[in-house]
Amino acid sequence: MADLFSLTVDSRLEHLGEISDFVGQAARASGLNANQINDVEIAVDEACANVIEHAYHGRADGTIDITCERRGKKFVITIQDFGERFDPRRIAPPKTRVPLAKRNVGGLGLFFMRKLMDKVDFDFSPKHGNRLTMVKKIKSKSNGATPNRR
């Protein structure tokens, strides 16, 4: 039987630390190793910061619902909001090979989410709002480092 962890917060940047702690605890309880927990925390932080900044335009009157669940060998995170609709196809890939001085500020959140997670899906419906589902495959409990070989 899978454990379901859930948290609802209002759309304020001050909640990002609480969200990170919540996701980290759920990931740890679900068997992710230290590197995977770090990846998940960063991806969720980016996603929630984007919800606050873009979906709610910095307004604190919105809600963000986060659920985490282990499903077999997968850790599944769902982030739901009722802010402005988000279409990931409208986001151009970042120019990561361009020198830093020539890049636009921001625009890497979606890129990082896709790099850090095994699966990232967006869905929108008028009834359920924006729903982001991210999946991380669960590996062994080790820290992810390769052991020394002789």
Q: For residue 90, what pLDDT is reported?
A: 79
Percent of the chain with pLDDT over 90: 71
Per-residue pLDDT reduced to its tens digit, 61-99: 999 999 999 999 999 999 999 999 988 777 767 667 777
Q: What is the set of domains in the chain, with CATH numbers?
A: 4-137 (3.30.565.10)
Provide the token pair at 111: 């890129």
Residue 114 to residue 121: CA distance in whole angstroms: 9
Handedness of CA 29, 35, 40, 42 (dihedral sign): positive
pTM: 0.85
Q: Answer yes or no: are the C-beta atoms of 136 and 36 closer than 8 Å.
A: yes
The amino acid sitting at 69 is: E
Q: Answer yes or no: are the C-beta atoms of 66 and 79 closer than 8 Å.
A: yes
Per-residue pLDDT reduced to its tens digit, 14-46: 999 999 999 999 999 999 999 999 999 999 999
Cβ-based neighbours of 87, under 8 Å, separated by 6 or more: 122, 124
| Cα 120-58-13 angle, rounded to 5 deg | 70
Q: For residue 150, what pLDDT is reported?
A: 38
Residue 147 to residue 81: CA distance in whole angstroms: 42
